[in-house]
Chains A and B, each alone.
Chain A
């Protein structure tokens, strides 16, 4: 990576952090309260060992004479301090949950609201799974980090600084042990993490390979069984399995040092502190007042010092972990913000009119369009349709039949030319009124998790129950709905009632029946449907087409032959257009397609 790249990434990382801070800043007073709670509870937790030292001081060595009153006094103090600190830390945790849930809520809301504003093109080019993972997993990661890491860093700093201060107070001389062990610890963990990183990388790479292989072979399990190749494939799997296990072991072999090493360094510190503390204590006992005050150590000091030293070393070892968590949270935040920055559908023109009383006259005038800039697929497309006429769109799979629909509905904007509805240029009318003047039935039926009734009524705001039932009847699905356990109140969900593809299609037709728009967009494809249902769907579609201007991705011969105009699509472009007879006479692509099946 070049220097510039690194700089740019650092800069973007800083930008991400700033934006995250904006969310935090919205709750600045609560955060200030949280900060106050955290400082208090951590300082109190540090005072604990100090008080226990004081209590221990009251138990004098050897003599058996104990100042019981003082011990009791300090013990009560300790108990109070610990309980208060505990309660405060619970309050703090609750407060942080509160804040982080508020932020999570508003981040999710903002992201979702933005999603609904995005152009259709975004969803055509991005996988649903990615979008879902941004709104769930990524946002969760960011907030887990906000609520945990932020606190933990502050708490760690307070603990380290506090323990340090306490240790200095007890004995600066004993502290010198850390001059040795802390740098050793830091250097060791740094060296080790760098040293073992390749092993861990190899381990996850090999594991990924193995999992990929297992998934691939599982997907072909039926074929493998059909050919009786189970043992050969298992043999190959074993090879990969061995590699993955060995890589795991290699990483473990080197990683096995870290835990014990951290413990070792802690133990070493304690050993040295004990040794040094013992010597100083002995000197204090023997030399008494003549010993330099700096070197004087009480018995309890050694114990308290050991307690603080454990607190002191803890966060330093944790630091590397937190750092990597923050790193993954920043990249998650970056992904979330990238999605928030996707350009939404441009606003309607300021003087846009609301289409009303549409007759259904559509004119397409010298239109050029391409999905990718510079790659024009539709060139000089012209078409005039009278109200009530039917336009059939035909062509091989993948030729781009839906492009025409995308342009009519303004899911995508054309590059050049113009489209008129009743003489209004569609970029000069509001998107909502344009889209509502069409009824649309697509091949991929879209039903949401809700009742049958809700799914049909989705077609028009304020539809009455009678209208919904009438629509279902017109769509030939009413009698089927009646057979469902809860009739119209049956909930359609992934794991609930199993309704067939054909019935789903009929439901979406019923939804479309509710709308009284003068224009219709229809995909006739009824593949994967049994012949009985196919007949029903055909009838329902005919019903739907009555009296509307129809744009039909046509599959039925009757639709094609009766259409006022046939658009033949090939490689994205409109290759030919005309009536069936005209096109057959022209002996072009349409005629060759039509004749191919008789050969």
Chain B
């Protein structure tokens, strides 16, 4: 292992230990009790071979007649009692451990979920949704499992190991030494094999990925393959990755297969040595035969404990990796909250009011933004909008339309320039204050498994009357009324049981339901037919007086009546004004408009 890898390794472990300990601390009392019980349970189990040797070495020789059988029976009963106690205490301790694991895991999961919900958009992008998902599902599950196992096996195996060694020391220190001398060999074997094996496994995982990639590619490109008659070529291509995979997998498996036979050989050689050395010691009167028999029992016990400890080690590595992945998110979220506070204070200190933009509702003042810090996604955007006016934004995908909206809603902070609402820098607003001003319906927005009513309310305190009013404005009432259970109708996850147009109208209803000051429709009416779309625009105009609205669209017809239209291309404004003005003066706008004469026939 290189020094760097070692440092990383230690670092992850330290994070994991302090992270897990933070959550276990409240339960340290009950955990100590559980551990004591577990220790007691393991100790009585350890007593069994001890009693066995006691019976054979001491009790039996004392029995001079058949009447003395009771002595053996009494010791036998002691063994049975020990077995019962071991059972009882182990079960008790396991159950206590499960309880602690449950409570700690619940807290961890809560904190993680809460943290993900509060992550900023750019951090979410950085982590990516699938990664957050796997942290929330499999990592928390690993941790839960780990917390339980650690308390159960993590205590039992070391006790069996240490206790076994201790008792064997009292039996015969010399034989213990013989036995212990085997351990380093086993340790080195495990270390060597895994050192060779782990890189091989990584390699085979990579080979597996490229095998899967070919299958995935070909399933998706089957039409092209058939059209070009490339079947044999593809078979050949697959055969190469298949062969490659098999070779690597075989190498890894053959390497790892050595572990068990080698460990077994060492353990068994250990037994042979114990017997051999024991025989000499008995011969010279230093030990007794019964002790050797007991010793062999302890040997099995101890070697099982050893194997269990290697298993725990593997498990711990898995748990530690999960813990550090979880703590990363929680920490990021916490830092973000602090950072936000700092920025808000800084913005307030700079003065939040802007005199010249005081009269306008929304002002963009020379705003630039980049997602990754290098390529500019928005450049020098400036415009101002009065209360009640409407803004239309049009341009190709990737031109920065949605980015502009995200900056306004402060999902991201702009790089340079300023954004004002009512003359206040958006960075000075409290988060909840800001979010309550907006009603937004985004492209492919979020519909979740619940009733229509709840999807419109979206966890907000909104009366049923307002829900119905919102549905009316959004032109959704007509189809909702057709369901037998109307607003109680259940929508499936991602809205798969309603059509695209119905979904969009539901999202628009959600956006208008809380009487927002600013209404944002980001490509949210693309699936509506022309007639419904124009009804929707009329309803918004009539019912939402004084609401400033921003409409992002690809269809010219959706924005052509706006008070101001921005034409974006590659992050820059290449035209702004009303429809008629742009038709005359903006080449791209006219092109889009022209191309949509054909587009209407298609989409």
Sampled A-B contacts (12; CB under 8 Å):
A78-B268, A101-B250, A109-B242, A217-B113, A223-B458, A241-B110, A272-B76, A274-B55, A394-B602, A435-B226, A446-B223, A529-B396
B114 near A281: Cβ-Cβ < 8 Å: no
Contacts of A222 in B (CB 8 A): 121, 124, 411, 442, 446
Q: Is A202 an interface residue (CB 8 A)?
A: no
Within 8 A of A (CB), among B256-282: 257-258, 260-262, 264-265, 268-269, 271-272, 275-276, 278-280, 282
Q: Are B297 and A306 in contact (CB under 8 A)?
A: yes
Q: CB distance A396 to B570 under 8 Å?
A: no
Contact of A101 among B246, B261, B591 (CB under 8 A): B246
Does residue A527 face the partner (Cβ distance < 8 Å to B)? Answer: yes
Q: 3 shortest A-B CB distances, which residue pairs? A: A275-B76, A220-B446, A228-B435
Main secondary structure of the interface of B (DSSP, over half): helix
Chain B contacts of A220 at CB under 8 A? 445-446, 448
CB-contact partner of B60 in A52, A89, A278, under 8 A:
A278
Q: What 12 new A-B contacts, CB under 8 Å, besides A271-B76, A274-B51?
A: A79-B269, A89-B260, A214-B136, A216-B448, A249-B99, A264-B87, A270-B48, A286-B65, A310-B300, A436-B228, A515-B228, A530-B396
Alpha-carbon separation in the docked complex, A434 to B117 (Å): 55
Segment at the B interface, from A20-28, A156-164, A364-372, A588-596: A588-596
Q: Mark A419-436, 1 if CB is under 8 A from B, else 0.
A: 000000000000110011
Most buried by B among A79, A259, A531: A531
The chain A residue sitting closest to B153, CB to CB, is A259
Is A248's CB under 8 angstroms from B596's CB?
A: no
CB pair B137–A214 under 8 Å, yes or no, is: yes
Task: Judge if B373 is at the interface, Cβ distance under 8 Å.
Answer: no
Q: 1/0 per residue B489-521: CB within 8 Å of A?
A: 000011000000000000000000000000000
Contact present for A530 and B106 (CB under 8 Å): no
Query: Are A529 and B397 in contact (CB-based, < 8 A)?
Result: yes
Q: Please, what's the 1-or-0 string for A197-228, where 1 marks a CB less than 8 Å from any CB in chain B?
A: 00000000001000110111111111111111
A596 (CB) vs chain B CBs: closest residue:
B530
On whether the beta carbons of A66 and B283 are closer than 8 Å, the reply is yes
Complex interface: stretch among B89-97, B380-388, B415-423:
B89-97
Is residue B86 within 8 Å, beta carbon to beta carbon, of the partner chain? yes
Residues of B within 8 A of A237 (CB): 110, 113
B84 at the A interface (CB under 8 A):
yes
CB-defined interface of A515-547 with B at 8 Å, one 1/0 digit per residue? 100000000010111110010000000000000
The answer to the question of A230 belonging to the interface, with a C-beta cut-off of 8 Å to chain B, is: yes
Number of residues in A with C-beta < 8 Å to the partner? 150
B interface bracket (residues with beta carbon within 8 Å of A): 35 or more
- How far, in Å, is A566 (CB) from chain B's closest CB? 9
Interface string of A32-67 (1 = CB under 8 A from B): 000000000000000010001001101111101110
Known: A61-B290, A270-B79, A593-B601. A556 touches B595 (CB 8 A): yes
Report if A215-B64 is in contact (Cβ < 8 Å); known contacts: A234-B113, A245-B105. no
The answer to whether A214 and B133 touch (CB under 8 A), given A223-B442, A226-B409, A274-B79, is: yes
Quick check: which of A90-98, A165-173, A315-323, A325-333 contacts chain B, the rest being far away? Answer: A90-98
Q: Chain A, 78-117, contact with B by CB distance < 8 Å: what is the 0/1 string?
A: 1100110111011001100110010011001100110111
Partner of A300, one of B141, B293, B436: B293
Would you call B272 and A555 a contact (CB within 8 A)? no
A587→B146 CA distance, assembly (Å): 71
CB atoms of A229 and B460 under 8 A apart: yes
- Shortest CB-to-CB span from A76 to chain B, Å, is 8
Chain B nearest CB, measured from A248 CB (Å): 6
Within 8 A of A (CB), among B65-106: 65-66, 68-69, 72-73, 75-77, 79-80, 82-84, 86-87, 90-91, 94-95, 98-99, 101-103, 105-106
Instruction: Provide the B208-249 mask, 1 if CB < 8 A to any CB of A, else 0.
Output: 101111111111111111111111001100110011001001
| A530–B398 touching, CB < 8 Å | yes
Closest to B222 in A: A123
Cα–Cα distance between A61 and B62 once the two chains are bound (Å): 13
User: What residues of chain A lie closer than 8 Å to B76, measured between beta carbons?
Assistant: 271-272, 274-275, 278
CB-based contact A116/B231 at 8 Å: yes
Q: Which of B59, B228, B265, B269 has most chain A Cβ within 10 Å? A: B228
Is A135 at the interface (CB under 8 A from chain B)?
Answer: yes
B253 CB-CB contact with A under 8 Å: yes
Assess the B56–A59 pair: CB atoms within 8 A: no
Contact A256 B440 (CB under 8 A): no
* B345 on the A face (CB < 8 A): no
Q: Is A175 an interface residue (CB 8 A)?
A: no
B residues in contact with A303, CB < 8 Å: 292-293, 296-297
CA of A278 to CA of B79 in the docked complex: distance in angstroms?
13
- Which residues of A are found within 8 Å of B52, using beta-carbon distances? 270, 274, 302, 306
Q: Is the CB of B217 within 8 A of A93?
A: no
Evaluate whether A286 and B530 lie within 8 angstroms (CB atoms) in the complex, with A52-B271, A56-B289, A61-B289 already known.
Answer: no
B569 touching A120, Cβ below 8 Å = no
Whether A458 is near chain B, meaning CB under 8 Å from some CB there, is yes
Tell me which of A101, A217, A432 contacts B229 (CB under 8 A): A432
Question: Is A499 in the interface zone, CB < 8 Å from B?
Answer: no
Q: Is B285 among interface residues, defined by CB-CB distance under 8 A? A: yes
Q: Which B371-419 residues sit within 8 Å CB-CB of chain A?
A: 396-399, 409, 411
Name B268's closest neighbour in chain A (CB-CB).
A82
With CB as the reference atom, state the residue of chain A lying closest to B44. Answer: A267
Q: In the complex the two chains form, is A597's CB within 8 Å of B224's CB? A: no
Complex CA–CA separation, A60 to B290 (angstroms): 10
A214 to B117, CA, bound (A): 10
Q: Does B223 contact A411, Cβ atoms closer than 8 Å?
A: yes
Q: How far is the CA of A554 from the CA of B86 in the complex (A)?
A: 78
Q: Is the CB of B133 within 8 A of A259?
A: no
Which residue of chain A lies nearest to B596 when distances are taken between CB atoms in the complex? Answer: A597
CA distance A219 to B557 in the complex (A): 31
List A contacts of B347 (CB < 8 A).
none
> Is the C-beta of B449 less than 8 angstroms from some C-beta in chain A?
yes
Let me know if A449 is at the binding interface, CB within 8 A: yes
Complex interface: chain B residues within 8 A of A466 (CB): none
CB proximity of B575 to chain A, nearest CB, Å: 12
How distant is the Cα of A132 from the Cα of B218 in the complex, in angstroms? Answer: 10
Answer yes or no: A479 CB below 8 A from chain B CBs: no
User: Is A307 in contact with chain B by the CB < 8 A criterion?
Assistant: yes
- Does B72 contact A238, Cβ atoms closer than 8 Å? no
Task: Report whether A560 and B398 are in contact in the complex, using a CB–CB cutoff of 8 Å.
Answer: no
| Cβ contact within 8 Å between A116 and B225 | yes
Residues of A within 8 A of B129 (CB): 218-219, 221
> What distance in Å separates the Cβ of B532 from its nearest Cβ neighbour in chain A?
12
Report B332 CB to chain A, min CB distance, Å: 14
A377 to B254, CA, bound (A): 57
Distance (whole angstroms) from the CB of A260 to the closest CB of chain B = 4
Asked whether B588 is an interface residue with its Cβ less than 8 Å from the other chain, the reply is: yes
Q: Which residues of B contact A555 (CB under 8 A)?
A: 595, 598-599, 602
Q: Tell me, rounded to whole Å, the shortest Cβ–Cβ distance linking B593 to chain A.
A: 10
Q: Which residues of B contact A216 (CB under 8 A)?
A: 448-449, 493-494
Contact A590 B601 (CB under 8 A): yes
Given that A112-B235, A249-B102, A271-B79 are contacting pairs, would A59 and B278 also be in contact in the complex, using a CB cutoff of 8 Å? yes
> CB within 8 A of A71: which of B226, B276, B297?
B276
Minimal beta-carbon separation of A445 from chain B (angstroms): 9
- List B contacts of A531 (CB < 8 A): 396, 569, 588, 591-592
Contact of A593 among B137, B230, B600 (CB under 8 A): B600
Cβ of B335 within 8 Å of any chain A Cβ, yes or no, is no
Residues on B with C-beta less than 8 A from A593 are 600-601
Chain A, residue nearest B208 (CB): A136
User: Are A448 and B61 also in contact (CB < 8 A) when A61-B289, A116-B231, A219-B129 are?
Assistant: no
A497 CB-CB contact with B under 8 Å: no
* Known interface pairs A116-B231, A555-B599; A257-B91 also in contact (CB < 8 Å): yes
- A253: chain B residues at CB < 8 Å are 95, 98
Distance (whole angstroms) from the CB of B148 to the closest CB of chain A: 6
Which residues of chain A come closer than 8 Å to B525, judged between CB atoms?
none
B312 within 8 A of A: no
